[in-house]
Amino acid sequence: MTLSQSEARILRRFRKFERNWPWCRWLSLAICIPNLAFWGLLLHIQTSAGAKTPDEAVSASSDVALCTVLVFVFGAFAVHTLSHWRGDPKISLLLKLYDSHENEAAQQGTPPNRR
């Protein structure tokens, strides 16, 4: 199978992603979990503390909005990491299919596509 230059570049990028994913997933969790705990605790403190003046209420509402957004962002990253713990199944399948095709071509004597 001959691949165009852009297809070969995409295939190399997929292989690099698969190689880097094992340590990247741990790094992602190491970043997400402490941030989730910090911003979640700050959100709890802000929502449980009552505002005494209107200025405090405005400040607290902006803090609550920021904390809520950050909790959702870090939560989404953590869920994505956990749901793709073994990597992206579509990319894994594509690479396995391509490798099996290249192995069959090598057994038949056809030179593999290496760019």
Q: How confident is the model over 8-15, as a mean pLDDT?
A: 92
Look-up of token digits 């741990």: 26
The span from the CA of 39 to the CA of 75, in Å, is 11
Q: What is the pLDDT of residues 37-94, one digit of tens each?
A: 999 999 888 888 776 777 777 777 888 899 999 999 999 999 999 999 998 889 999 9
Query: 93 and 6 in contact (C-beta within 8 Å)?
Result: no
Task: Name the band, by pLDDT with cuts 50, 70 and 90, for residue 110.
Answer: low
Q: Residue 30 has what pLDDT?
A: 97
